């Protein structure tokens, strides 16, 4: 499972590494907010809101090329209604960890481009 797909994402941005860095920065700011909303919705049993937040994370992750994060968010989006709460929570926790891995990969990519 690929954590971060850079080549294709950069190609969609016309090879603009500065723009890619800005995209990564925006994602790094926004994703934790969405994760917090997701956790709250799940804890409160607000499944429609939980699906909405998982969907939003899925789309944002796809945009930046965070493929494993996108896949986990999609599994959570589809499963939040059908899985036991414990399994949904385990998926959410896995997504949190995977996003941290993606953030680290983004930092490495930006650092390498700035050398």
Contacts of residue 46, defined as CB under 8 A and 6 or more positions apart, other chains included, come to: 40
Q: Which pLDDT belongs to residue 112?
A: 85
Q: Which pLDDT belongs to residue 33?
A: 97
Residue 2, in any domain of the structure: no
pLDDT-derived band at 3 (thresholds 50, 70, 90) equals: confident
Which among 54, 25, 61, 23 has a CA at the least distance from the CA of 37? 54
Q: Where residue 72 sits, what CATH number does that domain have?
A: 1.20.120.160
Residue 115, in any domain of the structure: no
Q: Which pLDDT belongs to residue 27?
A: 97
Q: State pLDDT tens for residues 54-77.
A: 999 999 999 999 999 999 999 999
Residue 60, in any domain of the structure: yes
Q: State pLDDT tens for residues 33-58.
A: 999 999 999 999 999 999 999 999 99
Q: Which pLDDT belongs to residue 23?
A: 96
pLDDT of residue 1 exceeding 80: no
Cα–Cα distance, 112 to 90 (Å, whole number): 33
pLDDT-derived band at 93 (thresholds 50, 70, 90) equals: very high
How many domains are there within the chain? 1
pTM beyond 0.85 = yes
43: containing domain: 7-110
């Amino acid at each position: 499972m690929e954590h971060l797909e850079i080549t294709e994402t950069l190609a969609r941005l016309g090879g603009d590494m500065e723009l890619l860095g800005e995209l990564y920065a925006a994602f790094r700011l926004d994703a934790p907010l969405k994760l917090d909303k997701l956790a709250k919705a799940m804890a409160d049993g607000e499944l429609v809101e939980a699906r909405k937040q998982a969907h939003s994370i899925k789309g944002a992750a796809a945009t930046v090329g965070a493929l494993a994060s996108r896949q986990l968010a999609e599994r959570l989006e589809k499963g939040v209604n059908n899985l036991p709460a414990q399994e949904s929570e385990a998926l959410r926790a896995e997504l949190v960890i995977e996003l941290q891995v993606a953030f680290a990969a983004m930092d490495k990519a930006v650092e390498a481009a700035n050398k």
